[in-house]
Amino acid sequence: MPAIAHAVLGEVTVDPGSGVFWERKLKLADRDISIDLTIGDVADATPKLFDWSAQFVTRLAEFEALARIGLRQSYDQDSDSAVALYMAHHLEELGAETLTRMFGTAKNSVGIDAFLAATFLRRVGLYPAASGGYATFDYTIGMDETDYLLAVRFNEEGKVVGIEMES
């Protein structure tokens, strides 16, 4: 299968029938983070889109910090936000032993700071050719504990533009 070489991303796989794909695992805070890039149409694959995607790779910690600020602001600004619903759902659904193991306390003592501290970045999806271009940072409180994610979406300018709870 052909590939495109990029200074930061390295070899990016090109499948004329399926599009352009790239995937790596990077370390962040002692965790492996899966990062993938998808461009559905090979004709849309430009150096500019690869450079846009590369910023999320080279500045992963910076964007992760922005995503966390977005998570906290979302919670603070809207009691019905995806963050508030994600937290309420998991505090209700997870058993007392799991909550004590995760937070060191009973569920009625778990505040937003402790809850967000327990979340971790699991995956970054890069979609530079999608309408306007965007990146999605997927957070979880535990892959064994839940199938639900908090998906923080960045726009083409690198600003947080949405947070959704997804499964």
CA–CA dist 83, 78 (Å, integer): 9
Q: What's the pTM value of the predicted model, to 2 decimals?
A: 0.94
In angstroms, rounded to a whole number, what is the distance separating the alpha carbons of residues 137 and 152? 5
pLDDT in tens, the chain (167 residues): 788 999 999 999 999 899 999 999 999 999 999 999 999 999 999 999 999 999 999 999 999 999 999 999 999 999 999 999 999 999 999 998 999 989 888 878 899 999 999 999 999 999 999 988 899 999 999 999 999 999 999 999 999 999 999 99
Strand partners, 165: 150
| Side-chain half-sphere CA neighbours of 3 within 13 A | 9
Cα–Cα distance between 6 and 2 in angstroms, integer? Answer: 13
- Going by the DSSP 8-state scheme, the letter that residue 98 receives in this structure is H
Kindly report the number of other CB atoms within 10 A of residue 23's CB atom.
11
Phi, psi of 112 (to 5 degrees): -60, -35
The per-residue DSSP string of 39-96 comes to ES-GGG--HHHHHHHHHHHHTHHHHHHHHHHHHHHHHHH-TTSHHHHHHHHHHHHS-H
| 60-77 and 47-58 helices, crossing angle to 10° | 80
